[in-house]
Amino acid sequence: MKTRITETLGIEHPILLSGMSWISIPKMVAAVSEAGGLGLLATGVLDAEETRAAVKEIRSLTDKPFGANVSLLFPGAAQNAVVLLEEKVPVINFSLGKGDWIVQMAHEYGGKVLATVTNLRHAKRAQDYGCDGVIATGNEAAAHGEEVTTFCLVPSLDSGLDIPVIAAGGVGDGRGLAAALALGADGVAMGTRLMTTVESPLHDNYKQLSLEKDVYDTLFSKNFDGLWCRILDTPAARKSIKHGLTPVDYLKAIPNSRSIAQMLKLPYYKLFVGVLASGWENARQLAFMANAFKQIRIATEKGDIENGVLPVGQVTGLMHDIPTVKEVIERTVKEAEEVMRELAKKAEG
């Protein structure tokens, strides 16, 4: 299946792995790229040294195109972006910040850059930067979508941009891929579907729980990590969003942020002072994220259903099995092609 995005990125199928912390690790990235899609490494929980090592590991596992993402709001993200540029990673995806400098430096070695966006204003800015495409995150998506759904966001961006649009949110099978293409997208990013696969490092407790849930079984709130975020509906998730940041939660953020500093190998006093100096709103946002990161990590790695919280999209209700990455991608493309053939027949009839 050829689209502008397959031609731009040099891939076989217009399917990308969403960059998910503790999920989009080298073996997952390589599995998606080997299956003809584009794997995206999540660097948000890696320091610069770990990011470089992860890039090298991916290259040891596949010679196909791959990418990596950086969430520029996170501590250490700029340093990780520099590593990706030094390693000449074929595709860099940035979000939550100004990435014009990434575009300029990536284009110098022939790299491609995708910006994750949730509205046309940000998408146009990304196009002005020289981005090679945008990932449009709709309301249905896991984690950080906003209020507009994929079915409205994608055609809005397609009408206002010249660069390719990649739809993220609500795509878990070939029907979703065909729908996204019909809306004007040139590809899709899949997170929830791909994290419930054989190769995914997601704990089996949450793989099974994701299969049990319906399309109604997610929560959408700003009270989990400070941004609009969609998470799996569990007692722990409901508790985490009930009150937002309480005084107790601020106290919890101190040791949790210390853990983040250790994880990213940043001197804690520098992180703490830097956060305070950045202003109250930014400090509040990072306190949210410190607590959320802990809950996501124990869900992902330990399978702790009592205390963990997992970002998932509404598409969790469309999943009924745990296939391999290759099976997901191949059957998604096959089903999309079948859907489009049937639609063409109906149009002719």
Q: Is 319 helix (H, G, I), strand (E, B) or coil?
A: coil
Least confident span in 55-59, 200-204, 247-251, 322-326: 247-251
**278 pLDDT band (50/70/90 cuts)?**
low
Percent of the chain with pLDDT over 90: 77
Instruction: Give mean pLDDT, residues 128-151.
Output: 94
- What per-residue confidence (pLDDT) applies to 345? 86
- Judged against a pLDDT cut of 70, whether residue 250 lies above it is answered with no
Helix%, strand%, coil% for the chain, nearest 5: 50, 15, 35
Q: What is the pLDDT of residue 243?
A: 73
pLDDT at 293: 84
Largest Cα separation within the chain, whole Å, is 69
Give pLDDT, residue 251: 47
Q: Is the per-residue pLDDT at 133 higher than 80?
A: yes
Residue 263, pLDDT above cutoff 90 = no
The pTM score is 0.89
β-sheet with 112-117: strand ranges across: 15-17, 187-190, 165-168, 133-137, 112-117, 91-95, 66-71, 39-42
For helices 280-302 and 247-263, give the axis angle rounded to 10 degrees.
70
DSSP code of 73?
T
The single residue listed with the structure tokens 């040294």 is 49
Measured CA to CA, the distance from residue 107 to residue 168 in angstroms comes to 24
- pLDDT value of residue 325: 98
Mean pLDDT taken over the chain: 90
Tell me which amino acid residue 224 is: F
Going from N- to C-terminal start, the domains of the chain cover 4-202+323-348, 214-302
Contact 310, 148 (CB under 8 A): no
Q: Coil, strand, or helix at residue 54?
A: helix
Residue whose token pair is 């649009």: 165
% of the chain residues with pLDDT over 70:
87
Buried b (16+ CB within 10 A) or exposed e, 130-162: ebbbbbbbbbbbbbbbbebbbbebbbbbbeebe
- The mean pLDDT of 277-303, rounded to a whole number, is 76
List, for residues 1-32, the tens digit of each pLDDT value.
Answer: 899 999 999 999 999 999 999 999 999 999 99
User: In terms of CATH architecture, what is 4-202+323-348?
Assistant: Alpha-Beta Barrel (3.20)
Predicted confidence (pLDDT) at residue 269 exceeds the cutoff of 60: no
Gap between the Cα atoms of 160 and 157, Å rounded: 5
* Residue 261 pLDDT exceeds 70: no
Residues 45-62, mean pLDDT to the nearest whole number: 96
